[in-house]
Amino acid sequence: MWRRVFDQRVLDLPDALQYLGNMNRLRTQVGIIGSGPAGLLLSHLLAQRGIESIILERQSRAHVEARIRAGVLEQGTVDLLRQLGLGERMDREGIVHEGFSMAFSGRKERIDMHKLTGKSVMIYGQTELTKDLINARLAAGGAIHYECPVLAVEEYQSSQPRIIYEQEGQRKELVCDFVAGCDGYHGAARKSVAQNRMQLFEKVYPFGWLGILADVPPVDHELIYASHERGFALCSMRSHTRSRYYVQCSLDDRVENWTDDAFWDELRRRLPPECAEKLVTGPRLEMSIAPLRSFVVEPMRFGNLFLAGDAAHIVPPTGAKGLNLAVSDVYYLARALAAFYGEKRSDLLDRYSEVALRRVWKAVRFSWWYTMLMHRFDDDQISHRLQVAELEYVASSEAAQTVMAENYVGLAFDD
Ligand code: FAD
Ligand code: PHB
């Protein structure tokens, strides 16, 4: 390129420097950091409204598509995916669940979500959803740049914020009207803002979840959340032939400490006998440990930088809310950006943080409550008895079950 430019003697030195600078600079309307569910869905929602975006992702496409995480999509998430024309494989391969069970004291109680709320959830792995979103985005000509770690967001208070990133060892920048920080808890977007401009709320729980994925049929046709003196356990699934199970573990535990047999034995001990007997075991496809935390940053907007999804908040997975909150955030954000570009209105952008946080805090509360109810805490003698009393109350009260079901299927998106 250098040779061509100078051989043709079309550029003098300042022009040549600018030319080279431009090679390292891209421009778009909305620069999106992160190709998790938040970033990918945002780019779809914007494209639907004719707004251009570019996604910068630190990892490779293969890495992003292989990450095993969430499994439960709320009704609102499912409806939005269908409305965007992104629900075809989900509707074919996903499994609709109208209820789930809570197990404690050797018994199993079903919460009939559909009867209590008229709604249900969809079992469809985040891995599959991510693949669908990536395929559809690329098929529509969308821009996703993989292996482009973002270093920082600069000048986010101005009308031309810049995302500084690396590609093949070169420092580059993406100039945009708005930046969406969809880069998860450890991302660069939130870290680009001075700490004194935000308020952080955080609670770290004194345990983690050890998860296994295995090609064995699920122990039950619906999810089972189990509270046991030895600790919490969750029986989930990805399909009729692939199960995802979790057991509460200590924070300093390591995957290397667990054989497959040790995992299955521990899970069996924490389930009611009727389930333990039916448990089918098999070799792991994957095993990992996830720490549990509740975390919220306020506000979610800093000038023309907007945070969405795990970049702005984390919930413990007990309530199956994280991915679904990422979806409601970007729904609000896309709506606000559409009002800006389409009608020159900035009022929805101004209200983004307030509106998103209202729904976020309700999910943070539910996830915290459900985590505290179901897990074993070593700190005192009384807490397990109180948990059992509350579980018995939920099992016996339709009002309590309705509260539980209403939160689990997902609260409505605000207007
Ligand atoms: P992420 O999925 O974390 O995506 C962020 C992206 O940004 C990543 O691809 C990352 O590589 C990229 N990135 C980070 N830093 C940079 C950088 N500097 N430059 C460029 N790119 C960067 N949620 C549910 O709703 N239901 C469930 O059932 C559920 N179960 C879960 C079970 C477990 C064990 C865990 C750990 C989580 C679970 N969650 C669940 C939570 C859910 O997985 C997350 O909330 C969800 O992934 C958030 O999406 P996101 O797009 O905001 O962030
Ligand atoms: C999962 O299937 O991974 C899963 C399901 C429900 C939860 C958390 C995780 O609450």
Counting from 1 in the atom list of ligand 2, the atom nearest the Cα of 319 is 10
pLDDT given at position 380: 75
Q: Quick one: tokens of 98?
A: 């109208």
pLDDT given at position 4: 42
Strands 53-56 and 25-33: parallel
The dihedral sign for the CA sequence 111, 116, 118, 119: negative
The catalytic site residues sit at 97, 225, 317, 321, 408
Counting from 1 in the atom list of ligand 2, the atom nearest the Cα of 211 is 3
* Residue type at 209 in one-letter notation: W
Which protein residues are within 6 Å of ligand 1, measured from CB? 33-39, 56-59, 64, 69-72, 126, 149-150, 182-184, 186-188, 209, 211, 290, 309-310, 317, 320-324, 326
pLDDT given at position 70: 86
Spacing, Cα 68 to ligand 1 middle (Å): 10
pLDDT given at position 255: 97
Residue nearest to atom 4 of ligand 2 (CA): 71
Contact 400, 393 (CB under 8 A): yes
Which protein residues are within 6 Å of ligand 2, measured from CB? 70-72, 223, 234, 236, 244, 317-318, 320
Spacing, Cα 176 to ligand 2 middle (Å): 36
Spacing, Cα 325 to ligand 2 middle (Å): 14
pLDDT given at position 3: 40
Spacing, Cα 321 to ligand 1 middle (Å): 11
Q: Counting ligands in written order, which one lies closest to the CA of residue 223?
A: 2
Residue 316: phi and psi, rounded to 5, are -65, 145
Q: Out of 126, 167, 223, 359, give the residue to mutate to test ligand 1, the one with the largest number of ligand atoms within 8 Å of its CB.
A: 126
Spacing, Cα 392 to ligand 1 middle (Å): 34
Contact 34, 183 (CB under 8 A): yes
> What span, in angstroms and rounded, lies between the C-alpha atoms of 106 and 104?
5
CB contact set of 57 (below 8 Å; sequence gap of 6+): 34, 35, 39, 64, 144, 145, 146, 147, 148
Q: Quick one: tokens of 285?
A: 């496809």
Q: Counting ligands in written order, which one lies closest to the CA of residue 74?
A: 1
pLDDT given at position 399: 98
> What span, in angstroms and rounded, lies between the C-alpha atoms of 286 and 36?
20
Strands 170-181 and 25-33: parallel
Q: Counting ligands in written order, which one lies closest to the CA of residue 184?
A: 1
Residue nearest to atom 46 of ligand 1 (CA): 323
pLDDT tens, residue order, the chain (415 aa):
444 444 444 557 667 666 656 679 999 999 999 999 999 999 999 999 999 999 999 999 999 999 988 889 999 999 999 999 999 999 999 999 999 999 999 999 999 999 999 999 999 999 999 999 999 999 999 999 999 999 999 999 999 999 999 999 999 999 999 999 999 999 999 999 999 999 999 999 999 999 999 999 999 999 999 999 999 999 999 999 999 999 999 999 999 999 999 999 999 999 999 999 999 999 999 999 999 999 999 999 999 999 999 999 999 999 999 999 999 999 999 999 999 999 999 999 999 999 999 999 999 999 999 999 999 997 677 888 999 999 999 999 999 999 999 999 999 998 7
Beta bridge partners of 244: 213, 236
pLDDT given at position 312: 98
From residue 132, alpha-carbon distances to 20, 36, 211, 321 in Å are 36, 12, 24, 20
> What span, in angstroms and rounded, lies between the C-alpha atoms of 376 and 191?
34
Residue among 70, 96, 132, 95 at smallest CA distance from 323: 70
Q: Which residue has the tokens 């032939």?
A: 241
